[in-house]
Chain A
Amino acid sequence: SQQGEEDPQALSIQEGENATMNCSYKTSINNLQWYRQNSGRGLVHLILIRSNEREKHSGRLRVTLDTSKKSSSLLITASRAADTASYFCATFPRGSYIPTFGRGTSLIVHP
């Protein structure tokens, strides 16, 4: 079964708007990562947040982690058409280097 599940499955917004996607997981984790996949390409690592961190920023990306609720969110601010892609969360159980990926959120940003 999937450890991480993203929500929503699909998101359509206008350029300039913010995009928020969520990830829920079931077991205790060491860290959680977000990846982006452009159409026809492999996944690209965006950001990692450890279990003892609550929030992390990287450029226009903001990730939060709530271990009590076993959930994370990825916020993309001031979205651009180039942000159109699928976004996946990957969870790493404690002591493991092996991730479990969710099914992803498909984001479309209209110019």
Chain B
Amino acid sequence: DAGVIQSPRHEVTEMGQEVTLRCKPISGHDYLFWYRQTMMRGLELLIYFNNNVPIDDSGMPEDRFSAKMPNASFSTLKIQPSEPRDSAVYFCASSFVRTGGSRETQYFGPGTRLLVL
């Protein structure tokens, strides 16, 4: 299995531009999570989906952030307009139920390092 795939791996953009981050979860996983990691705030949960439906977006910092999951194999996190304080590493993670395993175990992608100038 290829694991959770994120693209792009690095993104440099100018303030005010739209940024779209992409995630492909592991096939068969029914939960998908978006996190943001910064030195100041650590790892923050932004939003999570269950069976493609957004369940809790209370971690989304402001209306400039939006996330979608049109199908079980694809999700996007969009920032419009972007600001310098959005600079961070954004992670996507997925989880599933496996006999004898744990639903709570999360599988993380490699992250997208975003720099907004």
Chain A: minimal CB distance from B68 (Å) = 20
Q: Tell me, yes or no, whether A45 is within 8 Å of chain B by CB.
A: yes
Known contacts A97-B95, A98-B48, A98-B56; A103 and B42 CB within 8 A of each other: yes
Interface band, chain B: 20 to 34
B35 and chain A: residue at smallest CB distance: A101
Number of interface residues of A (CB under 8 A): 23
Say yes or no: B109 contacts A42, CB within 8 Å.
yes
Number of A-B contacts (CB under 8 A): 51
B107 and chain A: residue at smallest CB distance: A45
Say yes or no: A99 contacts B106, CB within 8 Å.
yes
B31: chain A residues within 8 A (beta carbon): 97
Most B Cβ at <10 Å: residue of A44, A92, A99: A99
Chain A: minimal CB distance from B34 (Å) = 12
